C-alpha cells in the first residue's frame, strides 16, 4: 500500500510538474506578470475617478467635483489606454514569450518580435464583425445605443471592445496558432533567404514574409468558414471562455479553484502557477467588467487580497504565532525567518521548512484555512458589505493595503485583516498541537543526549 501511494505521489508530481513547466504555462505566467504594470497604471487613474466613493467624507465630493473631478474624462482615457487594450497586451506578451521559448529550446530562427507582429495582424483579422449576406462578406453595422458597430468594429466608451478584456481568450488561441504556424514554416524552411551582404533588419523582415502570409491565410480562411456558417472566430472561442467563467464566478467554483491550488501545493507542486494560468483571463475580464458596473468577486487578484494572505495556505497568522508563541525551537526559528516574507505573501520557508508539503498532520488547515477566508471574502463582497474589486494590486502587497487597493475602499482593508484572522483561527489548534509534538521530540532528544 505504501509503495502504491508513493508511486501515485511520484507520478502525480511528475505529470503536474511537466504541465507547470510546459512552454504554454510559462508563457501564460509571463503574460500575467506583464499585465500587472499596465493594470496598476490604469488603476491609478481609475482611483482618481472614484475618490468620492473611496473617501466618503462630508464636503469632499463637492470639493472633488470643482477640482480633480473636472478631469475625469481624461483619467478615463488613460485607463482605457491600458485596460482597454488588455487582450493585445496579455496575448501579445504571451506570443512574444512563447516564440522566444521555442527559439531558445528548439534552436529555431524564430524572432519573438516577428511573432508578436504576426499575432497583432492575426488578432485584428478576428476583431471586425462580418456576415455572409447576398453572396458576399459584409461588415456588420449597428447604431443601437447598447451596440454601436461601425465597419464591423464594435466600440464603447472604453474603445474597440474586442481588443479589451473580453478578447483575452481569443487572443491566447490566436497567439498559440500564430506561433505554431511560424514554427512549422521555420522548421520546414519556408522562408526567403537573403544574401549575407543584406542588412540584418532587411533580411529579418523578408524572413517573416512567408510565415506571416501563412498566418494571415490560415486565420482568414478559418474566419471565412465560420462567417459563412453564421458566426466567427471570436464568437466561437468565447463560448468555452464564457462557460468556464460562469463556473468560476459561482461560490462553489471559486472554492474549487482554492482547493485545487492547495491540493497541488501539498504535493510540492506550485498550484498557484498551474491554476492561475487557467483563471487569469477570467479575473482580468471580470475586473474590467466591474469597472463598467458588473459585480464579480472573482476579479483582479482576490487571492492575495482576501484568501491566501501570507502565501498559499493563508499562513501570515501562522508565521507570527511561530515567531512569538511557539515553544519548539525548530518552529520558532522558522517563524523568525518567515515573518517578514509572509507580510509580502511569500511563504516557501513555511511550506518546505515546517514542513507543510507531504505533511498529513497539516493538510487540513492548509486547505481549509484559505477556503474559510475565501468564503468570508466572497460573502462580504457579494452581499455589498464591501465594494467590489476594481483594481489588481501587486501580489506582494501587505495585508490591509492589498484589500484597500483592490476595492479602493477602507472596507476592503478591514476585510483583508478579517480574512487573515479567520484563516489563523482555522490554523490555531493544528499548529498548536504540532508545536507541542515537536517540543516533546526536542525534549526527548535533549534528554537522550544528556544521558549519553
pLDDT of 54-87, one tens digit each? 677 778 888 888 888 898 888 888 888 888 888 8
Looking at the structure, tell me whether residues 373 and 338 fall in a common domain.
yes
Looking at the structure, tell me whether residues 442 and 381 fall in a common domain.
yes
Burial class from Cβ neighbours inside 10 Å (0-12, 13-18, 19+) for residue 384 reads exposed
Question: How many domains, the chain?
Answer: 2
pLDDT at res. 200 = 62
**C-alpha grid cell, residue 244:** 468556464
Instruction: Indicate the residue among 218, 244, 270 that finishes a domain.
Output: 244
Mean pLDDT of 212-219: 94
Host domain of residue 131: 84-244
Q: Residue 2 pLDDT more than 80?
A: no
Domain annotation covers residue 64? no
Domain annotation covers residue 427? yes
Lowest mean pLDDT among 166-170, 288-292, 412-416, 446-450: 446-450
Q: Residue 8 pLDDT more than 70?
A: no
pLDDT tier at 376, thresholds 50, 70, 90? very high
Q: Residue 373 pLDDT more than 80?
A: yes
What is the number of residues in the chain?
452
Looking at the structure, tell me whether residues 238 and 367 fall in a common domain.
no
Looking at the structure, tell me whether residues 124 and 159 fall in a common domain.
yes
Looking at the structure, tell me whether residues 238 and 98 fall in a common domain.
yes
d(CA 168, CA 225): 22
Q: Residue 256 pLDDT more than 70?
A: yes
Lowest mean pLDDT among 5-19, 204-218, 231-245, 342-356: 5-19
Looking at the structure, tell me whether residues 226 and 113 fall in a common domain.
yes
Domain annotation covers residue 225? yes
- Between 242 and 413, residue with greater pLDDT: 413
Q: Residue 1 pLDDT more than 70?
A: no
Q: Residue 109 pLDDT more than 90?
A: no
User: Residue with C-alpha cell 518580435?
Assistant: 113
pLDDT in tens, 315-361: 999 999 999 999 999 899 989 988 888 988 888 888 878 888 878 88
Percent of the chain with pLDDT over 90: 41
Domain annotation covers residue 202? yes
Give the pairing of strands 130-133 and 136-139: antiparallel
Domain annotation covers residue 21? no
Domain annotation covers residue 50? no
Mean pLDDT of 154-178: 86
Instruction: Indicate the residue among 244, 267, 292 that finishes a domain.
Output: 244
Looking at the structure, tell me whether residues 162 and 134 fall in a common domain.
yes
Give the pairing of strands 153-156 and 147-150: antiparallel
Domain annotation covers residue 148? yes
Looking at the structure, tell me whether residues 172 and 201 fall in a common domain.
yes
Q: Residue 179 pLDDT more than 60?
A: yes
- Between 394 and 425, residue with greater pLDDT: 425
Element (H, E) at 122: helix 112-126
Q: What is the residue-averaged pLDDT of the chain?
A: 86
Looking at the structure, tell me whether residues 368 and 230 fall in a common domain.
no
Phi and psi for 188 in degrees, rounded to 5?
-100, 10
Looking at the structure, tell me whether residues 239 and 256 fall in a common domain.
no
Amino acid at each position: 500500500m505504501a509503495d502504491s501511494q508513493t508511486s501515485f505521489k511520484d507520478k502525480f508530481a511528475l505529470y503536474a510538474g511537466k504541465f507547470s513547466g510546459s512552454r504554454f504555462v510559462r508563457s501564460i505566467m509571463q503574460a500575467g506578470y506583464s499585465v500587472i504594470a499596465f493594470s496598476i497604471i490604469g488603476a491609478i487613474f481609475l482611483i482618481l475617478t472614484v475618490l468620492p466613493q473611496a473617501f466618503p467624507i462630508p464636503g469632499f465630493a463637492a470639493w472633488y467635483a470643482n477640482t480633480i473631478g473636472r478631469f475625469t474624462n481624461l483619467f478615463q482615457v488613460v485607463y482605457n489606454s491600458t485596460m482597454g487594450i488588455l487582450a493585445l497586451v496579455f496575448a501579445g506578451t504571451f506570443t512574444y514569450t512563447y516564440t522566444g521559448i521555442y527559439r531558445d529550446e528548439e534552436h529555431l530562427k524564430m524572432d519573438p518580435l516577428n511573432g508578436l507582429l504576426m499575432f497583432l495582424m492575426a488578432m485584428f483579422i478576428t476583431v471586425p464583425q462580418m456576415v455572409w449576406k447576398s453572396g458576399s462578406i459584409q461588415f456588420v453595422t449597428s447604431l443601437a445605443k447598447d451596440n454601436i458597430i461601425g465597419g464591423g468594429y464594435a466600440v464603447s466608451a472604453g474603445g474597440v471592445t474586442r481588443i479589451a478584456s473580453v478578447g483575452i481568450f481569443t487572443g491566447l488561441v490566436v497567439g498559440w496558432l500564430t506561433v505554431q504556424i511560424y514554427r512549422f514554416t521555420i522548421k520546414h524552411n519556408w522562408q526567403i533567404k537573403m544574401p549575407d551582404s543584406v542588412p540584418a533588419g532587411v533580411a529579418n523582415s523578408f524572413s517573416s514574409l512567408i510565415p506571416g502570409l501563412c498566418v494571415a491565410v490560415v486565420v482568414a480562411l478559418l474566419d471565412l468558414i465560420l462567417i459563412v456558417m453564421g458566426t466567427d472566430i471570436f464568437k466561437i472561442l468565447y463560448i468555452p471562455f464564457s462557460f468556464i467563467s460562469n463556473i468560476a464566478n459561482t461560490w462553489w467554483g471559486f472554492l474549487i479553484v482554492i482547493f485545487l491550488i492547495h491540493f497541488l501545493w501539498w504535493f510540492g507542486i506550485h498550484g498557484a502557477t498551474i491554476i492561475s494560468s487557467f483563471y487569469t483571463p477570467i479575473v482580468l475580464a471580470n475586473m474590467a467588467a466591474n469597472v463598467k458596473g458588473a459585480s464579480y468577486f472573482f476579479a483582479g487578484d482576490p487571492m492575495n487580497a482576501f484568501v491566501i494572505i501570507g502565501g498559499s495556505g493563508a499562513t501570515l497568522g501562522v508565521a507570527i504565532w511561530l515567531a512569538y508563541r511557539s515553544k519548539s525551537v525548530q518552529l520558532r526559528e522558522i517563524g523568525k525567518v518567515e515573518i517578514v516574507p509572509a507580510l509580502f505573501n511569500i511563504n516557501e520557508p513555511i511550506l518546505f521548512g515546517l514542513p507543510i508539503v507531504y505533511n498529513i498532520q497539516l493538510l487540513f488547515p492548509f486547505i481549509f484555512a484559505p477556503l474559510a477566508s475565501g468564503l468570508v471574502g466572497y460573502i462580504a463582497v457579494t452581499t455589498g458589505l464591501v465594494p467590489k474589486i476594481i483594481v489588481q494590486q501587486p501580489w506582494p502587497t501587505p495585508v490591509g493595503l492589498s484589500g484597500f487597493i483592490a476595492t479602493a475602499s477602507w472596507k476592503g482593508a478591514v476585510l483583508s485583516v478579517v480574512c487573515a484572522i479567520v484563516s489563523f483561527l482555522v490554523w490555531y489548534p493544528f499548529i498548536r498541537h504540532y508545536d507541542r509534538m515537536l517540543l516533546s521530540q526536542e525534549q526527548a532528544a535533549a534528554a537522550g543526549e544528556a544521558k549519553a
